Structure 1
Amino acid sequence: MPHSPVDPVNLTADLVRCASVTPDEGGALTLLEGVLSEAGFACTRIDRGGVCNLFARWGDKGAVRAFGFNGHTDVVPVGDADAWSVPPFGAVQKDGWLWGRGATDMKSGVAAFVAAAVDFVRTTPPEGAVIITITGDEEGDAEDGTVAILDWMEREGEAMRVCLVGEPTCPERLGDMIKIGRRGSLSAWFTLTGVQGHAAYPHRAKNPLPAMARLMDRLASHELDSGTEHFDASTLAVVTIDTGNPATNVIPATCRATVNLRFNDAHDSTSLIDWLQGELDRVAQEFEVAGEMTVKVSGESFITPPGELSDLVAAAVEAETGRVPDLSTTGGTSDARFVKSHCPVVEFGLVGQNMHQVDERAEVAQIHALKAIYGRILRDYFA
């Protein structure tokens, strides 16, 4: 008996109704496992560190041709629920939009590629494999999400030959942009410690505040680079400076500050950490205060050079939308930073203007169009 095509809008709505705020699974992966299993995908739950993940494969393990999709069903918190004009997890459809937390980032993308994959293997079973990897830990620490899936795949001998991450990538219109890489991300926390004292007798204290001001100025005014072939210039943002001192007549003993760097392929995290440490040491010595630094690297910069994979995706996008997409490395981080060590990876999805906002929503027509693009990519890859 023939199956009806999977409606990606209905599937998005079902996923939005799952309150899967990181790290809660919320029923979203259970729902997708049911849809994929019914279509003949071999599904495996890969749960680690309290995080739920799903791996699904149609076709033979180790196939020479194996197209992979990656995405996440976890979402950020709703914030002030009273500020929403609709229930955040109600999946209300009105005015041609589907409303709710995760509608854009990225349950619509997941629904579109699942719907496209299911219809594709049912109507034109390919010679090869279609692999779906979905995590519940992209919006959180991301230590036990896609990383856990890829660790499991390596142990089990599972492999994607290429992968498309369904994150929202388009700035204005569907088809505007494909991401072929991402900048690296590094956060550094600084602590400068001097000697507390009376503000009227500064010579009896060692004030860490001027030292921190000098350090932050040196870091923020330094030009890391002027950009590279595929990347804009690297940036450093000072995101907080704190003393916790409410008194006007006290020089505090301690001052803390945090910076975030988004860096291109002219750098790696090691060289940047060395630079930060050197600047800290110089300021600490100059002002005779003690300096400490802790660092977290969220990901290194990477690029999938323009070529076969980006051409495949761009051709499908142009065929379905009439637009030639830009190949970009802008934006924040995504789980593509993990996938890139497994296989070539690019990202393409909806317009992302309202992701993480109050009244997050996705245009219904775009969800259908996204499924059509993903379906064409699969047909062209296995042609």
Structure 2
Amino acid sequence: MQNTAMTNTAMTNTAMTNTAMNNVASTNIFNISVDQDTLDDHFHYLSGCWLKGDYAEIVEKGGTAIKEDQYDVRIAIYYLYSIWIVEGSGYLLGCLEAILSLVKNYESSHDLGGFEETVEKNILDSLNLFFKKMSRRLERFSPTTADDDLESVVEVFEKIKEGCQQLGGFYEVEKRVESIIEAYQPVLEKLQKENDELEASLNTLKAEEVPNKNLGKDTDSIVEAIDRFEANNEDKVILRELNLPNKECLSYPFSMLLEKIKLMERLSERRDLYKAAIVLEDIREEISTMNPLDYFPVYFRGYSHVVAQYSTELFQHIQNHDSIHWSALKQLYSVDKDGFQKLEVTPPNLTYGSENATEYDQESLNRDNYLMG
């Protein structure tokens, strides 16, 4: 029953997310009439969540405001960035298409008549904020193949850039979008190369299978053809053997690490050990500092969602705990995780008003913002 309830809740949240995103994409918010006091209340609340890095709360409350047409471009941008962070790169294309709609709607409405200065400032500041945050995130986390359709993502970026060029006065936004497109280019080129190599390998394999209809006579030939195919697609074979979802887990840093490993193996096969040692040193240095969130982002979605939603309370508990009770629970956790999960524990009350708690809360939020973008 509990699992069913959780599933229903997740489906409800997903439905609201889709509705809210569709509303932003399909509604010209510059024509929406909203009570200013209500709008200010929503904006100030969500601004507080934004400063704390509470993106999950923005998704929930911002999604409700959008669904009820109680929002403006600032709230829309808060929501679109937050849904990308909380739900992952599968939502990126939808977020960008919604932003493209905002740009087009602003352009068409602007042609019909001028806006108040505050409206023009809001859309410019909001777009700058979104792409500034995205640029900073991409400086730490390279674009990954988790994006549903990288070519479509880059295509929408290009259209947003063109829209900003036509508007005029959006030069800073245009340059930020251009830098993001440049960050995606190496990934696109690598994916295109992999797709071409995979298609060529498949064609070769199919051609070699044609004369091998009699498996009793030509089994060795088929095995050799398969071996050649797997050798040419080694990273995908590795993912299959590790039971990793091919499309989502082969992040850009991980794919680069696999390339280095393959290079070292090829050098060692040729007994070119001096150069193999150089590659080995680089691999060892990378492994010693690798952040698993960068290499396997799909497996850390749940972790990142929990940190984003409950960061304040979680880090408060880490800082302000009873050392004896905490140590005993950690010992149980280390030897019996199932028993640890089932054990009923009464946590101490958190004191949010203390000076130390406030200091640590800010420190924890800074750390959470680093992890979550």
TM-score (norm 1): 0.30
Q: Which structure shows the higher helix fraction?
A: 2
Higher relative contact order (CA 8 A, sep 6+): 1
Larger radius of gyration: 2
